[in-house]
Amino acid sequence: MTRLVLVHGRDLDGRDPEALEAEWLGALGAGLAAAGSTLRPTDADASFVYYGDTLERLVDGGTPPPVTVHARGADPAALPRLAGALPDGEVQFVLDVARDVLAATGHRPDVGPVPPPVEAEGVVGDALVEALVAALALVDRYVPGVSAAVLLTLTRDVYAVLHDDAVRRVVEAGLDDALAGDEPAVVVAHSLGSVVAYPVLAGRNAGPDVPLLLTPGSPLGIRAVLAALHARAPLRFPAQVARWVSPRDPRDLLALHDLTPAAFPLPTGSPGVEALRVTNRAPGSHAAAYRLDGGWAGYLALPEVAGPVAEALT
């Protein structure tokens, strides 16, 4: 029997994982119905990899609870203080992402020259922090549907998963647990979840078959994310994955780029990612599952997104 493994995105700490799974399955059920499928996956058919509280504690330096198989809001007025508390490498990463977002919306991120990181460990250069704060202010002013606080939260989480070995080991272990066994597994990894899922799957040469990897709203094509992934290992199409579909609403600026060969250059001759353009009616065009007007919205509620899941599960 083919299982369904669900990997959530950013900023879900403090939520009930069972309630989140029910939301995802509700939206997916709506998408399957719209696609003409009679499939309605239930909790018994799915594993929901919840790492929200774990990631929140790890990023903030606390003792994390375990990842369960069944990130924080930020006050805009506190952004300068938060940015000033970050190490140089993380400041530079967030700044690179903010500039990429601004460039994609046609606004030149004119925040002045960025100095090289200072050499003293744990010290953040004032000019670098000022450049980041200025870029985040432009995001708040010019980028619809994305606040500076949301962007800072997303990029901090992505940075931690990509650059902190302890964070990565703990979060990826949750997905490894969900993939244990030899039954095929359809993996649905939304947003930050794709940054967790892709390295796990790409690093496997054995394990359960994955007839479908679905990555709605994925930030894997953002240049700073791509550079960090490539620094760890050459890009590759996961060997166990039969089909990879990556839906994205063009207005979803937390995903920013379609996973085309230009944005996500896999080796010549490897299978390609199917970059799928869709319309996500959820506010900000980024959510996987969202209650709207008494029904479901979000990526999973779309027939174009749910359709490949139905095909893979049957």
Structurally, the chain folds into a number of domains equal to: 2
Same domain, yes or no, for 9 and 44? Answer: yes
- Under the banding of pLDDT at 50, 70 and 90, the label for residue 113 is very low
Residue 215's contacts (CB-CB under 8 Å, 6 or more residues apart) are 189, 190, 193, 194, 197, 198, 244, 245, 246, 247, 259
In this structure, the answer to whether residues 224 and 204 fall within a common structural domain is yes
Write down which residue in 160, 178, 205 finishes a domain: 160
Inter-axis angle of helices 165-178 and 52-60, to 10 degrees?
170
Domain boundary among 160, 181, 198: 160
Give mean pLDDT, residues 254-271.
93
Q: Are residues 194 and 278 in the same domain?
A: yes
Asked if residue 177 and residue 61 are part of one domain, the reply reads yes
Q: Are 61 and 169 found together in one domain?
A: yes
The answer on pLDDT for 95 being more than 80 is: yes
Name the residue type at position 63.
T
Cα radius of gyration (the chain): 19
pLDDT confidence of residue 308: 97
Q: What CATH number is attached to the domain comprising 282?
A: 3.40.50
Residue 6, classed as helix, strand or coil, is strand
pLDDT per residue over 34-54, tens digit each? 999 999 999 889 988 877 555
Contacts of 165 (CB under 8 A, 6+ apart): none
**Statement: residue 68 has pLDDT above 50:** no
| Position 288 confidence tier, pLDDT thresholds 50, 70, 90 | very high
Let me know whether 52 and 23 are in one domain.
yes
User: Same domain, yes or no, for 83 and 65?
Assistant: no
Contacts with 61 (C-beta within 8 Å, 6 or more apart), sequence order: none
In which band, very low, low, confident or very high, does the pLDDT at 69 lie, cut at 50, 70 and 90?
Answer: very low
Domain check: are 66 and 90 in the same one? Answer: no
Which pLDDT belongs to residue 74?
46
User: Quick check: 220 and 259 in contact, CB under 8 A?
Assistant: yes
Domain boundary among 160, 195, 227: 160
Low-confidence winner among 72-76, 159-163, 223-227 (lowest mean pLDDT): 72-76
Q: What are the tens digits of pLDDT across the range 166-198?
A: 888 888 888 888 888 889 999 999 998 999 999
Q: Residues 84, 103: one domain?
A: yes
Question: Average pLDDT for residues 270-285, to the nearest whole number?
Answer: 95
Binning pLDDT at 50, 70 and 90, where does residue 112 land? very low
pLDDT tier for residue 100 given thresholds of 50, 70 and 90:
confident
Is there a single domain that holds both residue 245 and residue 177? yes
DSSP 290: E
Q: What is the pLDDT of residue 280?
A: 97
Tens digits of residue pLDDT in 145-170: 777 877 887 787 888 888 888 888 88
- Do residues 199 and 254 share a domain? yes
* Model pLDDT, residue 60: 53
More confident residue, 198 or 127: 198
Query: In the predicted model, is pLDDT for residue 32 greater than 80?
Result: yes
Joined together, the tokens standing for residue 179 give: 């993939």
- CB atoms near residue 38 (< 10 Å): 8
Q: Which residues contact 110 (CB under 8 A, 6 or more apart)?
A: none
What's the confidence (pLDDT) of residue 193?
A: 92
* Domain membership of residue 151 as a residue range: 76-160
pLDDT higher than 50, residue 243: yes
**One domain, residues 212 and 198:** yes
The proportion of the chain whose per-residue pLDDT surpasses 70, expressed as a percent, equals 81
